[in-house]
A and B are shown apart, each in its own frame.
Chain A
Amino acid sequence: MIVGITIITVSILVNQITKETFSKNNPGLDAVVGAKGSPLQLVLSSIHHVDVPTGNISYKNAQKIIRHPAIKSAIPISLGDNFQNFRIVGTNKKFLKLYNANLISGTTWSKPMQAVIGYNVSKITKLKLNKFFVGSHGLIDTGDIHAEQPYKVVGVLNKTGTILDNLILTSLESVWSLHTDENKNKLEITSLLLKYKNKTSSFSFPRLINKGTNMQAASPSFEISKLLKLTGNAHRIVDYLSVLIMLLSFLGILFTLLNNINERKYDLAILRTLGFSRWKLFSIILSEGMIISIVGSTIGLIFGYLVYESMHYFSIVGRSIELGQLNFLNDLFLIWITVNIIAFITCLVPCIKVYKQNIRTTLLNS
């Protein structure tokens, strides 16, 4: 029972929190424009900051999109470096507004090589205001560092519960100064995060980009729902497996109790002769079964929560998608109740057997 509940708890938590996290990480963006390739990869790398980008696009071309009449807002981002596996994102200050981020201390950047760090970055790397750090080339720590141009921490962000907590933000110019020759015509960015003026553009604009340019426009909500559908099938298999394990545990409780009362039928008959009524013995056996069930399902729930918390901890350390903080989920409570109702019904079988016991025959046979 403990194993079954643990698996189903982790499955539900991960399933729900993943959905929640994906939705939290996307603050209403309608599209991401980037280099051609997998649209899911583009969305994952530009919004959720997992996976590598599909490539770079010309900043000159990006500016044409920014000025397009269908676009309400466009935020350029440029990836390429990391510090202790936390991604360094070149962008503009609108990026902070996108996530309603506030500074705990310091200010935003005002010149190149100044950086604002997310809450988890500051907590884990121990970087503080006015400290310097050097970026490492690539999106994971390879040791290939840009020692000649260190960043200075000028601001630390409040916790947002989004991917922003795991990012280091700086100006586009900082990234360009490390990676390009600053020839304005050759400047590149990784992608553009877009909001349309009108939702009807979500049909026409991507077509315009996908067919008329060497770039692609991907819809974050569409790509993520495709991904969740795929992972949802895996979750369902895990859920079926845990239901099977729980069914086996109910049978376990049933046979344990039946075996117990079979071994103790003589003692139970003695208790009747001493004055314990049928109902009293019925309730004792029922209590035994329910204690096993309640303790088992509660331990399973706690184990599931601990496994989830470990995953949560390692997801921060591993800089992947942050699973978000747990709020007690109604689904888990519902499962706990359902498991114990089924256990209650299962326990009735041995209880009825005890209730119907003929004490005279039992004592004589013993």
Chain B
Amino acid sequence: MFICDDISFDIDGQNLFSNINLNLKPQKDLLITGPSGVGKTTLLSILCGIQKPTTGKVTYNNINIYDLAENKVDDFRGKNLGVVFQNFNLINSFTVKQNLEIAASAIGTKNSNLFFDLLDRVGLADKSHLKVSNLSIGEKQRLAVARAFIGEPKWIFCDEPTSSLDDKNANIIINLIKEESLRCKASLILITHDNRIQSLINFSKILRLGEEL
């Protein structure tokens, strides 16, 4: 169970958002949407334990991540959450396979078959030796998705996964995310202002930031 309890965030004394309350059952999907600048990415950082909220609690299966010691937050995120960042956050000097290996080593997984299967499913098996800097935008996005699923997390966060993709690639990525979420029995928390997504995934909840709640 994923619960957000009265989350608010102030930046330079100005309130960005407040009173965010969420309750998401296992394997249910949440869409967070809203216009640019309302703090969607900041909210994702808060939900993932990257940015501390001004007030409120973020609880996964009764564990409030902001009650954990800072080192434990990183560990918790690595083992339980998968994050696909808007700008991918891949290590450009590493190869495709090395990006997966480093993510796996962060959580203590060393199964090389897992890398191969994952790369096969995202269509990058034949590019595992290529450096990230040599991949196309679509390929980078697929690699970022593969990396997010490496630890078979129970909660997957995706920040604007289709914003820079054409319709064809957007479909590929969304289907990929859906399939991997189902395989891992994970809840999907997706942030986007891309209307194409709403028709592709059946979200059980939608949070519209920047609108009256």
Contact = CB atoms under 8 A, between A and B. Distances in A.
B74 interface: yes
A276 B106 contact: yes
Residue from A274, A359, A363, A366 whose CB has the most chain B CB atoms within 10 Å: A274
A23 B93 CA distance: 60
B106 A363 contact: no
A269 B91 CA distance: 10
A270 B90 contact: yes
B145 interface: no
A360 B11 CA distance: 13
B106 A274 contact: yes
B71 interface: yes
B11 to A, nearest CB: 11
For the side of the interface on B, what is the size category? 20 to 34
A277 B45 contact: no
Interface in B161-177: none
Interface in A350-366: 359-360, 363, 366
B71 A277 contact: yes
Contacts of B75: 275, 277
Nearest to A363: B89
Contact of B78 (A275, A278, A366): A275
Contacts of B107: 274-275
A173 interface: no
Nearest to B83: A273
Interface in B77-116: 77-79, 83, 85, 87, 89-91, 93, 102-103, 106-107
Contacts of A276: 74, 78, 106
B152 to A, nearest CB: 13
Q: Is the interface of A mostly helix, strand, loop or mixed?
A: helix
Contacts of A278: 70-71, 74
Residue from B51, B79, B85, B90 whose CB has the most chain A CB atoms within 10 Å: B51
Contacts of A333: none
Contacts of B74: 272, 275-278, 280
Nearest to A269: B89
A288 to B, nearest CB: 15
Closest 8 CB pairs of A and B: A275-B78, A275-B106, A277-B71, A274-B106, A277-B74, A360-B51, A274-B103, A270-B89
13 contacts: A269-B89, A272-B74, A273-B50, A275-B74, A275-B79, A275-B103, A275-B107, A275-B151, A276-B78, A277-B71, A277-B72, A277-B75, A363-B85
Interface of A: 267, 269-280, 359-360, 363, 366
Given A276-B74, A276-B106, 18 more contacts: A267-B91, A267-B93, A270-B89, A270-B90, A271-B106, A273-B50, A273-B83, A274-B106, A274-B107, A275-B77, A275-B106, A277-B72, A277-B74, A277-B75, A278-B70, A278-B74, A280-B74, A363-B50
